Structure 1
Amino acid sequence: MIYLFVIVLLFAAEIVYFRIADKYNIIDKPNERSSHTRITLRGGGIIYWVAALLYVLLNPSEAAVWFFTGITIIAGISLWNDIKGLGQNIRLIIPLLAMTCVFYMTDIFGGYPWWAIVIGYILFTGIMNAYNFMDGINGMTGLYTLAVLLPMIYVNIYIQPFTDNDFLLFPLLASLVFLFFNFRKRAKCFAGDVGSVGIAFWIVTL
């Protein structure tokens, strides 16, 4: 029942965001490198942040708060980039700050050598950029996320639990809602940086 409630809230949040995006002209205009040819709303992936908010409200813990702090930092700066555009330095530094929240949450700083931590930051940056490249191709971001999460859920339930199951199910539900609007011949929205970077952050945290 709780998951149905989450799905309804995610649909409602997406529809509200569409109205905001329409009003403030948060759009993706196609260019010569685009795979789409029509102007499309940008930032529909904000529901990954909404899913994170619902997760921390329904599953409160210190770790959940650290995770939510990190995803809020990265989603906030990414949404601003979707709306106004930001310099390369800011777009590089802020995600590293968000990832620091996760490293602190999981005690990475106390349990790994400095070079392993540096590699962790580099891997995070790479995954984030990979997700960014997928946005703009209808269905790609959501389907790839499902392809990552479904095996994780299977392992978590049937083989070796490694996290709270809701921490896997909430982004999966957000992906299904996002795909409803994105995986069609004429997408209603793209994830935008707020979505692609936000879900990349969630995947890396897992």
Structure 2
Amino acid sequence: MVTIIPAILILVALFVMELAYFKIADHYNIIDKPNARSSHQTVTLRGGGIIFSLAVIVFFILSDFQYLYFVIGLISIATISFLDDILTLNNKVRLSVHFVSVLFMFYQWQLFTQPWYYIIIALIFVIGTINAYNFMDGINGITGAYSLLAICTLYYVNTKIVSFTSSDFLTIIAFSLIVFNFFNFRKKAKCFAGDVGSVSIAFTLIFLIGQLVLKTGNFGYILLFLFYGLDTATTIIFRKIRKENIFEAHRSHFYQYLANQKKWNHLAVTVLYVTIQFLINVVLLLYINTPMLPILIAVAIIAILFVGLRFAVEGKNYLLKTHH
């Protein structure tokens, strides 16, 4: 159990690591320049989310090398994502490493004892979720704040409802998110997460939620990603309707519309998303042990309301006709 003094030391160490990375990124010009697809206007250091992987390594060492195969997968996917941040790699190379990394996660979950079709379904879901989480990282604060909410919710579940993972692991990941948010959750961010950050925190959160689902047999906990999932899924559907290449960079997410077309403050959009997901989490935990059918009906109602909201705010033409 991480006590007060070690906790403070770990938090300070993570701050020092982040500041050291800033020096390296500045020296080697690892930056994010604004372009037509960006939601920011100034040159900013990229890759600040490397702190999430460093935090996992800190836990790994302090815990006498717990979750070995997960850590191997995380280091692999974080490394290829960092290289993609600075070099822009071939998609086949990147996705191949994602595939292998996820298999390491599955081995840590002992998923290979399950029927083969479980593994196929899990593979599609996990790789899709990792990439969706990456696509959602487009404005200041959103990845850090949304992820911190998820970690805090998982910590509550782990300590109050069912123990499914190490509380120290959750605590150290939370510390890394606090450090990142200190530099990113502001009007003019000091750094962006980069693919190394958004992909590695997605990988970590999926691992934790997977542990929870496997421990409880309750797939309802996947709804801790619900609002991100709704934005991603509806955006993909609208882009397919517009006959766009869904793998190309874009600014079609609802949060991007609010930030770019409506000119909302980035942090206001982030707070909106986190607040809605917080309310979903509260309701989820209150009714987590109810049958799945009412939960699925509630999700369907929320999805319909969200689609209606998008039509009301963005308009039929913007959502259904090709953007120029």
TM-score under structure 1 length normalisation: 0.96
Structure 2 residue 108 is the aligned partner of structure 1 residue 105:
yes
Question: 1:91: which partner in 2?
Answer: 94
> Partners in 2 of 1:16 and 1:5 — Cα distance?
16
Question: 1:35: which partner in 2?
Answer: 39
Q: CA deviation at 1:163?
A: 0.7
> Partners in 2 of 1:130 and 1:174 — Cα distance?
21
Structure 2 unaligned blocks of 5 or more? 209-324
For 1:117, which of 113, 116, 119 is the aligned residue? 119
For 1:82, which of 85, 107, 113 is the aligned residue? 85
> Partners in 1 of 2:26 and 2:138 — Cα distance?
18
Question: 1:192: which partner in 2?
Answer: 194
Q: CA deviation at 1:39?
A: 0.9
For 2:161, which of 156, 159, 162 is the aligned residue? 159
Q: CA deviation at 1:129?
A: 1.4
Question: 1:17: which partner in 2?
Answer: 21
- Kept in 1, the 8 Å contact 2:32–2:44? The answer is yes
Q: CA deviation at 1:60?
A: 1.7
Question: Could you list the per-position Cα deviations for residues 1-36 of structure 1 after superposition, in whole angstroms to 9, with x for gaps in the alignment?
Answer: 221111111111111111111111111111112110
For 2:151, which of 149, 152, 175 is the aligned residue? 149
Question: 2:183: which partner in 1?
Answer: 181
> Which is further off, 69-78 or 133-142?
133-142
Q: CA deviation at 1:137?
A: 0.6
Ranges of 4+ aligned residues in structure 1 off by more than 2 Å: none
SS in 2 for 1:72: helix
- Kept in 1, the 8 Å contact 2:45–2:190? The answer is yes
> Partners in 2 of 1:174 and 1:132 — Cα distance?
18
Q: CA deviation at 1:150?
A: 1.2
Q: CA deviation at 1:134?
A: 2.5
Q: CA deviation at 1:113?
A: 1.2
Q: CA deviation at 1:66?
A: 1.5
Q: Which residue identity does 1:170 align to in structure 2?
A: I
> Partners in 2 of 1:161 and 1:184 — Cα distance?
34
Q: CA deviation at 1:126?
A: 1.8
SS in 2 for 1:38: coil
Q: Which residue identity does 1:101 align to in structure 2?
A: F
Q: Which residue identity does 2:202 align to in structure 1?
A: A
Percent identity over the alignment is 48
Q: CA deviation at 1:114?
A: 1.2
Q: CA deviation at 1:40?
A: 0.8
> Partners in 2 of 1:104 and 1:203 — Cα distance?
16
> Partners in 2 of 1:160 and 1:121 — Cα distance?
25
> Partners in 1 of 2:118 and 2:140 — Cα distance?
35
Question: 1:70: which partner in 2?
Answer: 73
> Partners in 2 of 1:123 and 1:181 — Cα distance?
31
TM-score under structure 2 length normalisation: 0.61
> Partners in 1 of 2:164 and 2:29 — Cα distance?
42
Q: CA deviation at 1:196?
A: 0.5
Q: Which residue identity does 1:143 align to in structure 2?
A: A
SS in 2 for 1:172: helix
Q: Give the alignment's Cα RMSD to 1 decimal.
A: 1.1
> Partners in 2 of 1:177 and 1:86 — Cα distance?
28
Structure 2 residue 49 is the aligned partner of structure 1 residue 45:
yes
- Kept in 1, the 8 Å contact 2:102–2:127? The answer is no
SS in 2 for 1:30: coil
Q: CA deviation at 1:136?
A: 3.0
- Kept in 1, the 8 Å contact 2:39–2:138? The answer is yes
Q: CA deviation at 1:100?
A: 0.9
